[in-house]
Amino acid sequence: MTRLSVNINKIATLRNARGGNMPDVTKAALDCERFGAEGITVHPRPDERHIRYSDVRIIRPLVTTEFNIEGNPIPSFVDLVNEVVPDQVTLVPDAHDAITSNAGWDTLKNRDFLTDICKEFKAHGIRTSIFVDPDPRMAEGAAVCGADRVELYTADYAAEYPLGREAAIARYLETAKAARDCGLGLNAGHDLSLENLAYFVEVIPWTDEVSIGHAIICDALYMGLERTIAAYLAEIRKK
């Protein structure tokens, strides 16, 4: 069954906008688990505009489901991951000034670098996932690099979904099949929402995990966090 990992970055963004510790990011992570989330995702960036490295160190020993750290494997990020040893690390090629992740890795051009990074994290017993665009060649390249999973960057799927869901998911289905054929696990994330989530996991039921943050926090403003997480779990389980 597809697992729901809640990305708590936006909660940290709200805290950082005012200073202090409101909302409490650690409490939010534990509440997400208590409300049914099957994982917690954080994506620390060098400027610490949302999740801070210190947050990661505090939250890691408290999470009882699955802890996933996303980020660009610059030296400080690599050191942090090796220090806290999450269940999963997701490699994302975002620039230091990116507002949000906006592309996957070219696993062919970056094969040597990604191979070294995967080898290092796997030596620490960390499942390693590579963030890729919906292109079968990128999934196949991730397998060559030694990744355990790929995470499909689903922004295009979300944008195209209102125009025709079958066309929107076609490239994702092709890439998901390629990943499966290579023996890779499959994650997905970016702009997945209550509108488009159920169809994604219906068509690609071997999706291991979806990581969702922005939409969950937006919906929680109206529905509350507990009801929102329950609603997302219901969408996943419609398949």
pLDDT digit string (tens) for 16-27?
999 999 999 999
Residue 99 confidence class, pLDDT cut points 50, 70, 90: low
Distance CA 156, CA 138 (A): 16
8-state DSSP, 191: S
CATH of the domain at 216: 3.20.20.70
Residue 100 has pLDDT above 60, yes or no: no
Domain that holds residue 59: 3-237
Q: Is 104 in contact with 93 (CB distance < 8 Å)?
A: yes
Residue 98 has pLDDT above 80, yes or no: no
Please report the pLDDT score of residue 102 as a whole number: 66
Please report the pLDDT score of residue 94 as a whole number: 78
Report, as residue numbers or ranges, the catalytic residues: 43, 70, 190
Tokens of 51: 């999740």
Q: Please report where in the chains the tokens 């409101």 appear, as a residue.
A: 22
Q: What is the pLDDT of residues 144-179, one digit of tens each?
A: 999 999 999 999 999 999 999 999 999 999 999 999
Residue 204 has pLDDT above 90, yes or no: yes
Burial code of 39-58, b = ≥16 C-beta within 10 A, e = fewer?
Answer: bbbbbbbeeeebbbbebbee
- In the chain, how many domains are there? 1
Nearest to 98 by CA among 18, 25, 29, 155: 155
Burial code of 145-156, b = ≥16 C-beta within 10 A, e = fewer?
Answer: bbbbbbbbbbbb
| Cis bond upstream, residue 23 (ω within 30) | yes
Q: Is 172 in contact with 200 (CB distance < 8 Å)?
A: yes
Per-residue pLDDT, averaged over 94-113, amounts to: 79
Please report the pLDDT score of residue 238 as a whole number: 85
Please report the pLDDT score of residue 101 as a whole number: 60
Per-residue pLDDT, averaged over 181-205, amounts to: 98
Nearest to 89 by CA among 108, 70, 110, 73: 70
Q: How far is CA 158 from the centre of its chain?
A: 15
Quote the mean pLDDT of the chain: 95
Q: What is the pLDDT of residues 61-76, one digit of tens each?
A: 999 999 999 999 999 9
Per-residue pLDDT, averaged over 130-155, amounts to: 98
SS3 209: strand
Residue 96 has pLDDT above 70, yes or no: no
* Identity of residue 173: L
Residue 187 confidence class, pLDDT cut points 50, 70, 90: very high
**What percent of the chain stands above pLDDT 90?**
92
Residue 41 has pLDDT above 90, yes or no: yes
Q: What is the pLDDT of residues 207-230, one digit of tens each?
A: 999 999 999 999 999 999 999 999
Please report the pLDDT score of residue 239 as a whole number: 59
